[in-house]
Structure 1
Amino acid sequence: MTESVTCTVQDSICRLTLNRPDKLNALNLQMFREIEGHLDRLDHAAIGCMVLSGAGRSFCAGHDLDDLASGKETAASAERFENGLVERLSTLPFPLVAKVRGHCYTGGLELVLAADIIVAAETAKFADTHSKFDLVPIWGLTQRLPRRIGMARAKEMMFGCRTYTGVDAATMGLVNTAVPDDKLDAYVDDLCADIASNSMRSNRAIKKLLIDTDGLNLAAGNAWELHHSPGHGPEFKAMIAARRP
């Protein structure tokens, strides 16, 4: 049976790929279970960076509405599990980069917001359509979207159900950058190679500090960093020496 989510690791870069291209990678409970299985089996200590993407022409068209309509995924236990898995992705110890081409709608938008860095094709399409189908987010959209783009923009996206291009998304800060469609793969590959070439310990510690201080005011966050930063690591002197001209 074909996996609906694939996972490969090479040169400390993990590639987690939604693999239902015939359904535009629409999410269902089985996909969440497969993602959980891949995360459980990963040697997290060996990962410097993860890339989250979708097979085919779209990142993710959203939650599989056929499954929702059938009642398969409305149980509270399923909703808690799916919400928890998005949270698990957002708090992975290593950097998570999302690569978006094509559709990134609703549930797909909730999933992509778990990423630390989002790179999109210029022609990618972003939208939240919960209210178009009398739905309300349960995977963290009302929390993560305002934190990324601001409350006013988030309200516009959620209430209006409008579609935004990758260029629009970059302008509003939803994605870090939008690149020409034919440059997307190479751009993300180069970015992840840069991330993976740096200190894995540093990147993990920096991400943890960012997560631990989210929501604190400047003074409290600064004090937390001072007292909880692990500072220099064992590779510091060797890395300094290796980079001297």
Structure 2
Amino acid sequence: MTETVTCSVEGGIFRLTLNRPDKLNALNLAMFEEIARVLDRLDLTAVACMVLAGAGRSFCAGHDLDDLASDEETSAAAERFENGLVERLATLPFPLIAKVRGHCYTGGLELALAADIIVAAETSKFADTHSKFDLVPIWGLSQRLPRRIGMSRAKEMMFSGRTYTGVAAAAMGLANATVPDDELDAYVDALCADIAGNSMRSNREIKKLLADTDGLTVAAGNAWELHRSAGHGPEFKAMIAARRPRKSAG
């Protein structure tokens, strides 16, 4: 049987790929369970950053509608588990990049919104189609989308069910960047290299600091940063020394 999720770790970069290309990587409970098993086995201390992608021509077309009609998929237990898995991705201790090509619809959009950074191909397609099927989000879309693009834009996407290109997604702040389709892999690889080349401890502590102070006033957040920041790490002096120009001999 073909794996519905594939993964690898190399050079501190963890790549997790949805692998149902014949279904445009549509999600079902079995895929969520497989992703959870992958995360359970992952050595978190070995990861500098993560890339979430989809095999084939799409990132993810959303929740598999054939499976969604089943009682198992719509049970309260399944919904809690799936919501928890998206939250687990969002709160991983290292930076998470969603690499989006093709469809990024509804459940797929909710999955992408768990990422810290979204990079999209120019011809990718973003949409929230919950209202087209008499559905209401349960994987965090109502919370993460407004925080990323603002309430009025989020309402437009959610109420209309319209489709937006990668270019439009970047313009509204949904995607951090949009690049030509044939440059997507190289762009994400370069971004991963930049992240992995920096202090793993710093990036993890920065992500935690941002999460801990989300929603605070500037004054309260500033006080939190001053008194609770992890500050200098054990590699600080060595990294400073490595960046200083060496004196020539003689």
Give the TM-score taking structure 2 as reference length. Answer: 0.97
CA root-mean-square deviation: 0.6
Deviations 1:177-221 (A, max 9, x none): 000000000000000011001000000000000111111111111
The gaps in structure 2 that reach 5 residues or longer are 246-250
SS of residue matched to 2:34: helix
Q: 1:228 Cα shift?
A: 1.0
Aligned to 2:248: none
Q: In the alignment, does 2:231 pair up with 1:231?
A: yes
Aligned to 1:69: 69
AA aligned to 1:239 is M
Aligned to 1:173: 173
Q: 1:7 Cα shift?
A: 1.1
Cα distance in 2 for partners of 1:219, 1:90 equals 26
Q: 1:3 Cα shift?
A: 1.1
Cα distance in 2 for partners of 1:234, 1:24 equals 45
Cα distance in 2 for partners of 1:235, 1:142 equals 40
How many residue pairs match? The answer is: 245
Aligned to 2:95: 95
Larger radius of gyration: 2
Q: 1:70 Cα shift?
A: 2.4
Q: How does 1:214-225 map to 2 (within 5 A)?
A: 214-225=214-225
SS of residue matched to 1:70: coil
Q: 1:240 Cα shift?
A: 0.8
Q: Which runs of structure 1 show a deviation greater than 2 angstroms over 4 or more consecutive aligned residues?
A: none
Cα distance in 1 for partners of 2:6, 2:211 equals 27
Aligned to 1:196: 196
The gaps in structure 1 that reach 5 residues or longer are none
AA aligned to 2:217 is N
SS of residue matched to 1:237: helix
Q: 1:162 Cα shift?
A: 0.2
Q: In the alignment, does 2:128 pair up with 1:118?
A: no
Deviations 1:13-44 (A, max 9, x none): 00000000000000000110011011110100
Deviations 1:90-140 (A, max 9, x none): 000000001000000000000000000000000000000000000000000
Q: 1:244 Cα shift?
A: 1.6
Aligned to 1:211: 211
AA aligned to 1:190 is A
AA aligned to 2:149 is I
Identical residues among aligned pairs (%) = 83
